Amino acid sequence: MIEPALPDDDEPSPFTRSGPVSRDVRPFAFGQTGAGRPAARLSGLERMNERLARLLRGAIEGIANARTAVAALPLSTRSYGEWKADLPEFMVLHLYRPRPLKGGMLLALEPAFVAAMVDAFYGGSGIVSPPKGPELSPSEDRLADRIAEVVLGVLREGWADVLPFDPELVGRETVLSYASLVRDEDPVVVQAFEVRAGQARPATIAILYPLATLRPIEDELATKVHSDIGGGGDDGGWRERLAAALEDVRLPVRSVLARPEISVSQLLALKPGDVIPISLQPTVPLIVGQKRLAEGVIGEQEGRAALQIQTIGAPPRKGNAG
């Protein structure tokens, strides 16, 4: 049995990879809809991804018991057969009827992700060997259903502004070839999220919608995007997304103990064993980027050099303010 292959950090996810490009010239009749049809009218679904990613982060953290990062991957439109060809046969698949929409919906989880979440849920690190398949253990089976319910709850909230989205479970499979969402040649829209929970390896959660299922509401999705951009007023959701994104921004922080000066001749004459005298100030600055953020004193904590903050903000400048 083929084990699920998790994507490397620099490798595109198998859920969204477009596959090899064929150079064969093929006839095409304008007006037909193919798997490569751009999902430009589905930009509302693309915009929805950021909110769903934020909601998923909090939901998965409750299962993983660890800090979790969730990134929305670019929306893609492919044939169902092409999407399946990039995946291992052993997958955790939940099939739904996406009421009030017609057709079906598929939620795809990697078995290795489910196993990692089971380990993390019971206090482990989340670093485990992926299950061999083709079946899950009882614990994995129960947690897979719980993850699916969490994702459904996130989808219901994310779709609330467009329509009262309430998918109904139709069946569950662990063998990819048994999951009959649509015909292999039919186009599907792949909405995928990369999840990094604690120490577990990155994994992907994918949601598939047949393009025919979404076509009747394309105008509603597009209208939603336009109203968000041009409607004016205070977009609280946008502010929340921005605040959440800023929390993960990393800034360089440094402290300068001393700034001795020596002549060029002394610099050129330096050799091992030479001593450069320095004068330590009572306090040293904490600098973030190019801004002096705080002042503190150097000490020791748990055997390591440390800086104890005494004041926040730059010291007042000497001389006249004007």
Q: Out of 91-95, 130-134, 191-195, 220-224, pick the least confident.
A: 220-224
How far apart are the C-alpha atoms of 174 and 262, rounded to whole Å?
70
What value does the mean pLDDT of the chain take?
80
Sheet holding 291-301, edge to edge: 253-255, 284-288, 291-301, 304-312
Does the pLDDT value for residue 143 go beyond 90?
yes
Q: Out of 71-75, 170-174, 314-318, pick the least confident.
A: 314-318
Does the pLDDT value for residue 107 go beyond 70?
yes
Q: Let me know if 246 is exposed, middle or buried by CB neighbors in 10 A (0-12, 13-18, 19+).
A: exposed
What pTM does this model have? 0.59
pLDDT at 287: 86
Nearest to 132 by CA among 190, 81, 89, 70: 89
- CB atoms under 10 Å from CB of 148, counted, come to 21
* pLDDT band of 15, cuts 50, 70, 90: low
- Domains, the chain: 40-247 (3.40.1550.10), 253-267+278-312 (no CATH)
pLDDT over 70 percentage in the chain: 78
* pLDDT band of 195, cuts 50, 70, 90: very high
Does the pLDDT value for residue 191 go beyond 90?
yes
Does the pLDDT value for residue 270 go beyond 60?
yes
Nearest to 293 by CA among 322, 263, 253: 253
pLDDT over 90 percentage in the chain: 34
Average pLDDT of span 72-97: 93
How far apart are the C-alpha atoms of 100 and 166, rounded to whole Å?
7
* pLDDT band of 6, cuts 50, 70, 90: very low
* pLDDT band of 21, cuts 50, 70, 90: very low
- CB atoms under 10 Å from CB of 104, counted, come to 20
